[in-house]
Structure formats: C-alpha cells, structure tokens
A and B are shown apart, each in its own frame.
Chain A
Amino acid sequence: MKEFEYPFDAEYLLSKKKRLKRELLAASEQFLEIKAAILGGSTTSDIKQLLELFLLHHGIKPTFFESEYNRFYEDAVFGNPELDELGPDLVFIHTSWRNIRRFPELTDSPEAVQEKLESEYQRFVSVWEALAEKYHCTIIQNNFDYPFYRLLGSKDAADIHGRVNFLTRLNLKFAEYAESHSAFLIHDLNYLSAQYGLDRWHDESAWYLYKYALAVQAIPCLANSVANIIKAVYGKNKKAFALDLDNTLWGGIVGDDGVENLSIGQETARSEAFTAFQSYLKEQQQLGILLNIDSKNEMCSALAGLGHPEGVLKQEDFIVIKANWLPKSQNLAEIAAALNIGVDSIVFVDDNPAEREIIRQSFPNVSVPDIGDEPEKFIRILDRSGYFECVGISTEDLNKQKLYQQNAKRADLLQSFTDYDEYLRSLHMTARIEGFIPLYMQRIAQLTNKSNQFNLTTKRYTQAEIEAAANDPNCVTLYGKLADKFGDNGVVSVVIGRRRGEALHLELWIMSCRVLKRDMEFAMMDALAAKCRAMGVKTVYGYYYPTAKNGMVRDFYQLQGFTKLSEDTEGNTVWQLDLEGYQNKNRFISVED
C-alpha cells in the first residue's frame, strides 16, 4: 500500500491505523503467518499496532505476544506461560537508554565503570540466551539511542564516565555478539534516532505520561525499520533493479545529446551526483542485487552511454538490458521472466513520473519509489525505503552476478544442441548431496524463504529452525549443491523429512529455479532413498499444497514415481512411495560422496 512507502506520513498512519488494518487485511488473501513476541523495556502498545501494519504491508501476518510494561527481562529469563504457549518464531526486544540500570558515576574508577559495562551487557546476554535456548527463535534487539541531555557536553562521548561513551561501548559489545550469533540481529536504534533527529525523537512528556521511550510521532518510523528486518528474515526483500537510463543513470538524453555531452563524472555538481548514484548501484550489485535496464532508447545509444569512460557502471554489470521503444511495463515483465523472479521482487527506478505511474498501474506489486528528478536525492530515497535490508551476507549473494552470467553462457550452449540429453551431458555436472552442515545453514534458511515456484509445501524456516532440524535425530535433512563446467551454482535444493517409525514424511522439498530441467531433483531423490534405506525407512510420504506460485510442481511426486493417496477440494495432495525396488533416476550428474 502506497501509504506505507517512504516517505510515509507518520501522523496519518497513527490516526488511521484501525482503518488501515482493515484495508490491509482485505487487500490480500495470502499472508505469511508468523508468531512474534515484543518484549519491551517501555510501553509498546502503539509499537505493536504499527509494526503489525507494516508487516501486513509486506504480506506478513503476525500473531503477537506483548510483554507487560518493562517485563522484557523477567519474561525472557524466568519465563511466561503465555509466551510459551505462543512459541515465538521471532522476538523483538524493544529497549532503550532508559533501560540502563547503572550508568557510571563521576567518582567511579575505570575498573568500576568497566564492571558496570560488563554487568549491563551480561544482563542482556542472559535474556538472549534464555530466548534462544527455549524458542530457537530469531532475536531482534535494539541497540541504544543516546539520551536527550549530556552532563559533560561533548566530553560525554570522550570520557568513560559519560553516558554517550558508555552507550557507545555497550553498542559495540552488542555488535560483537551479533557477529557470532547468526539468528541474533541488531535493530540499529542508535542510527534510526539520529536519522530522525534526537530532539524530535525524545519526548519527555511521552515518557512521563505514558512511559514511551520515544516520541509517539516517531513510532511509525521505528515500526517501519523493524518490519524491514523482519521481512528480510522471511525472504521478502527485493532482488533486482529495473533502471531507466537518461536522467536516471546519467544527466541528458544520450540519443539526442550524444555520449560526450552526458552529465557523468566529476566535472560538475550534477555529474558528480549521477556518478555517486552509479557507485551506489554498483555497491548494491556487489551485495547480490541484480541490475537491469528498462529504457526507451535505441540499443546502440544505450550501450554507447554505458561505455562512457567516466561511468561507474558498465554493460557487463547488467543482467538484462532492455533498450527499445516498447512499453516499459512489457520490458519489466520480460526482465522478471528472464531472471526467473516475480515482478514483485523488482524495484523500478525512473525519473519520469508518467513512466512510474504506468508501472504502478500495470503492476501494483512492483516497488516504484517516487525518486523525483533530482539525482542528489536518489540514494537517500532508495536507502530509506529498506528494499534490500541485509540480515546476513551469504557467499551466494556476493557471487550472484557471476551465477547469472554463467546462466547466460549455458543458454548459449543449449542453442547449439538439438538433443537436450546431449546438452546435459556436455555440462559435466557434479553435485554434493548430504545432510545440513553449519557452513550452509544461512543459505538453506534463505532458500526456504525465497523459493516460491519449485516448492511443494511452501513451509518457511528461520535459520534457528534449520539448525534445530539438522540436530534432530528424527529429521532427515539434505542439501544439494550443483556445479558444472561453467561454474558452481551453490546450494540449490533442500529436502527435510520427519521420520515416524518406518515412514518418512516430507515437510519440505525445494529447488532453485536456476537449475530447472537439469535432473537435480532426481539426484536428490536418489540420495534421499539411499539415506532412508540406511536408517530402515521403507515408505516415503510426499505432500503438495498448491499456492498461487507453485503450480509447476503439482505433478512432481508423480514424476518421482509416487502414487497419489488423496486429494482434497483445495487441491492438496498426499503421495506415497514404497522404497523397495527403488531404482536411481539421475543420469547426468555425478554425485560426490
């Protein structure tokens, strides 16, 4: 909903929140349902309500537990039956500088200050450890905002007795903890409050009257920021840019003005702004965001523009370049198809408001930020929109550009074969298929949240749940990693089954669409059959739950040789495979042991 996109009107959201909730619930039928707990060190009532709105906007429907006022520590460490009953997938700990119990006194020795720092830190660690042990949940923890006054003035930052100094050091300790705990994420309240402006962020009357640790008007901003992390945890980040060229990536019209007259480089303020924007996009690309062009231009002009010696982005930085005179909406649909992603994973960036409006009309799910036409503002608008909120950088992300380029080479090779089997043989594919190992937990969790098409049950897992499955003796877990002569595709398929007696029930079977029609699903089935036999499992049950996106695997279990046991009115099907006499089906992939 447009109301929730940056820059949103906080007061509007606050005053209309009840109506907006109704409208959000009516706007979609398919929500991802999650169980979330908000443990507060101050009042959280409106934070919960606004967070719910922003999550619904992202297609996530939360069931909440909300701690009583300032009970975050007690609920986590001593437990709370209601919290146990919910069994949260995710816990947001909303604390602030108000929750520091003992700040340094001016007379404290350095050792005493250090002891206070350690004791505040340990108090939080005990909260996190208790929650992780009980619920194997994702934890989102605020770091600390700075107080609204400074006893020592600027020296508050530089003296160990200063609160600013103390909170800065505590924030660094929180960050260190986050580095070694992947299911633990910092919500950067410190940056958010600075961005909002500390003078507006702090409202003492809201504290004295209602025990809100921030101004009520700042709550939508907080909720948006936390919702961005949560949607990223559940794989709902955007994946790609579709970018206009003229007056978006450079100043001027390349077809009219000529390459030599474009604004890009360091010559003028305007050209510097475009160069900075290109550098920003290059940084996004290095994080795994796919760059594409959707421009009304002759292809030769577009490529000439990208060849500008001062440009940061070059032709090879883009996966799909659409430069033609077709409607941009048609190009956008083709970009999505070529990348094998939904249009709802694309951010469309264009300085022309008419083009933006057409895309909004054609595809309500595409993100179309109002970037305006001033290049110096593009970065901030995109940054604040939180499309690509990062919750963990996997090597897959860092190599994504390369993966897509290899796919382009495979597509070229396929053109040269008339026999598909010959093509598969020529790829010299090798796979590694085994139970989950720590190195890949993050990628595996990411895949369970990102895969929509080749996904039999559309069950989502947090990294904590993936780790729990890997350690559960009654779970069979398999990941598959596929490489060929063009390169390594990384982890592309994941299977999780739960054993009951001599039967195995498949809770999850997913595969990346990058490796469709490569026989990888058969290699996975062979490995699953072998693993089942080794542990005395005789029958495997598969489940298919239809969604708007997974029609391609409706007959998957039939292809794998299963027999259909039942089908209900909604199209949910149950399948059975007797493992006796199972014969391996993979013909083209050599599987390493």
Chain B
Amino acid sequence: MTKEEIYAQLDEVFQDVFDDEEIHVNAETTANDIEDWDSLEHINLVVAIEAKFGIKFNMNEVVSFKNVGEMVDVILQRV
C-alpha cells in the first residue's frame, strides 16, 4: 500500500468518525485542526483506523502520535 492510498483511506475514516465529508488529512494534521477531535474521540479514531487497516497500535504509540504523519509511518510498517 502506498502512502497516497493510506491517506485516501484515512480520509474516509476521519470523515466517518467526525461525520464531516469535507475533512481531508495530511502529514501535518493534528487534533487542533479538527474541532471535535478530543481525547474521547481519539480512541474512536484509533479503533476505526485499526479496523480499517487490520492492524493494532500499541499503547505507547497511541499516546505519542504528534500528527497524522506519524500515524501513517506506523501504518506503513504494519500493513
């Protein structure tokens, strides 16, 4: 899977979780860029991403992601 494909799929996940079809993410996207992205939605996001790519993040990764780019790096290693 290429980075572009991962970003395309991530867009779908973000759009579902935040119920907003306008959302498009890139490597620099952080929780500050998306209004409803708080700590409780973060877990939904993590679970939805795990389900979408059939992977598991470990606890340390979940708390240390600084932006979407870091998530994508981990996804790339696992898929």
A residues at B contact (CB < 8 Å): 11, 14-16, 18-19, 22, 43, 45-46, 205-206, 208-210, 212, 216-217
User: With an 8 A cutoff between CB atoms, is B67 at the interface?
Assistant: no
What residues of chain A lie closer than 8 Å to B40, measured between beta carbons?
43, 45-46, 210
Please state if A14 and B59 are interface contacts (CB–CB under 8 Å). no
What residues of chain A lie closer than 8 Å to B44, measured between beta carbons?
14-15, 46, 216
User: With an 8 A cutoff between CB atoms, is B77 at the interface?
Assistant: no
Give me the 3 closest cross-chain CB pairs, A-B, nearest first: A18-B19, A15-B48, A205-B59
* Segment of B10-18, B25-33, B68-76 engaged in the interface with chain A: B10-18
User: With an 8 A cutoff between CB atoms, is B63 at the interface?
Assistant: yes
Q: A210 CA to B44 CA in the complex, in Å?
A: 11
What residues of chain B lie closer than 8 Å to A19, measured between beta carbons?
16, 19
* Contact mask for chain B residues 44-79; partner A; CB cutoff 8 A; 1 contact, 0 none: 100110010000001100110000000000000000
Residue of A nearest to B45 (CB): A15
What residues of chain A lie closer than 8 Å to B19, measured between beta carbons?
18-19, 22
User: With an 8 A cutoff between CB atoms, is B39 at the interface?
Assistant: yes
Please state if A18 and B13 are interface contacts (CB–CB under 8 Å). no
User: With an 8 A cutoff between CB atoms, is B43 at the interface?
Assistant: yes
Q: A412 CA to B16 CA in the complex, in Å?
A: 59
Please state if A16 and B43 are interface contacts (CB–CB under 8 Å). no
Q: A15 CA to B48 CA in the complex, in Å?
A: 6
Chain B: minimal CB distance from A222 (Å): 15
What residues of chain A lie closer than 8 Å to B39, measured between beta carbons?
210
What residues of chain B lie closer than 8 Å to A217, measured between beta carbons?
47
What residues of chain A lie closer than 8 Å to B62, measured between beta carbons?
205, 209
Please state if A18 and B51 are interface contacts (CB–CB under 8 Å). no
Chain A: minimal CB distance from B35 (Å): 13
- Sample of 13 more A-B contacts, CB < 8 Å, known A15-B44, A46-B43, A208-B59: A11-B48, A11-B51, A14-B44, A15-B48, A15-B51, A19-B16, A45-B40, A46-B40, A205-B58, A209-B43, A209-B63, A216-B43, A216-B47
What residues of chain B lie closer than 8 Å to A18, measured between beta carbons?
17-19
Q: Chain B at the A interface: mostly helix, strand, loop or mixed?
A: helix
Q: A46 CA to B51 CA in the complex, in Å?
A: 17
What residues of chain B lie closer than 8 Å to A46, measured between beta carbons?
40, 43-44
Please state if A16 and B59 are interface contacts (CB–CB under 8 Å). no
Chain A: minimal CB distance from B58 (Å): 7
Please state if A11 and B47 are interface contacts (CB–CB under 8 Å). yes
Q: A19 CA to B18 CA in the complex, in Å?
A: 9
Residue of B nearest to A208 (CB): B59
Please state if B48 and A14 are interface contacts (CB–CB under 8 Å). yes
Q: A45 CA to B18 CA in the complex, in Å?
A: 15
Please state if B47 and A209 are interface contacts (CB–CB under 8 Å). no
Number of B interface residues at 8 Å Cβ cutoff, please give it.
16
Q: A209 CA to B47 CA in the complex, in Å?
A: 13
**Central interface residue in B13, B40, B44, by most chain A CB within 10 Å:** B44
Residue of B nearest to A12 (CB): B51
Q: A11 CA to B17 CA in the complex, in Å?
A: 11
Residue of A nearest to B39 (CB): A210
Could you name 17 residue pairs across A and B whose Cβ atoms are closer than 8 Å? A11-B47, A11-B51, A15-B16, A15-B17, A18-B19, A19-B16, A19-B19, A46-B43, A46-B44, A205-B58, A205-B59, A209-B43, A209-B62, A210-B39, A210-B43, A212-B43, A217-B47
Please state if B47 and A16 are interface contacts (CB–CB under 8 Å). no
Chain A: minimal CB distance from B43 (Å): 5
Residue of B nearest to A215 (CB): B47
Q: A217 CA to B51 CA in the complex, in Å?
A: 10
Q: A14 CA to B40 CA in the complex, in Å?
A: 12
Known interface pairs A19-B16, A46-B40, A210-B40. Does A14 touch B47 (Cβ–Cβ under 8 Å)?
yes
Known interface pairs A11-B47, A45-B40. Does A16 touch B16 (Cβ–Cβ under 8 Å)?
yes
Q: A19 CA to B42 CA in the complex, in Å?
A: 18
Q: A212 CA to B62 CA in the complex, in Å?
A: 15
Please state if A206 and B51 are interface contacts (CB–CB under 8 Å). no
What residues of chain A lie closer than 8 Å to B17, measured between beta carbons?
15, 18
Chain B: minimal CB distance from A505 (Å): 44
Please state if B59 and A209 are interface contacts (CB–CB under 8 Å). yes
Q: A314 CA to B39 CA in the complex, in Å?
A: 58
What residues of chain B lie closer than 8 Å to A205, measured between beta carbons?
58-59, 62
Residue of B nearest to A210 (CB): B43
Residue of A nearest to B44 (CB): A14
Residue of B nearest to A216 (CB): B47
Chain B: minimal CB distance from A45 (Å): 5
What residues of chain B lie closer than 8 Å to A216, measured between beta carbons?
43-44, 47
**Central interface residue in B18, B39, B59, by most chain A CB within 10 Å:** B59
What residues of chain B lie closer than 8 Å to A11, measured between beta carbons?
47-48, 51
Please state if A15 and B13 are interface contacts (CB–CB under 8 Å). yes
Residue of A nearest to B21 (CB): A19
Q: A100 CA to B33 CA in the complex, in Å?
A: 40
What residues of chain A lie closer than 8 Å to B43, measured between beta carbons?
46, 206, 209-210, 212, 216
Residue of B nearest to A204 (CB): B59
Chain A: minimal CB distance from B67 (Å): 19
Chain B: minimal CB distance from A8 (Å): 14
What residues of chain A lie closer than 8 Å to B16, measured between beta carbons?
15-16, 19
What residues of chain B lie closer than 8 Å to A14, measured between beta carbons?
44, 47-48
Chain A: minimal CB distance from B42 (Å): 8
Chain A: minimal CB distance from B25 (Å): 15
What residues of chain A lie closer than 8 Å to B48, measured between beta carbons?
11, 14-15
Residue of B nearest to A19 (CB): B19
What residues of chain A lie closer than 8 Å to B58, measured between beta carbons?
205
Q: A465 CA to B62 CA in the complex, in Å?
A: 47
Chain B: minimal CB distance from A54 (Å): 17
Chain A: minimal CB distance from B63 (Å): 7
Residue of B nearest to A20 (CB): B19
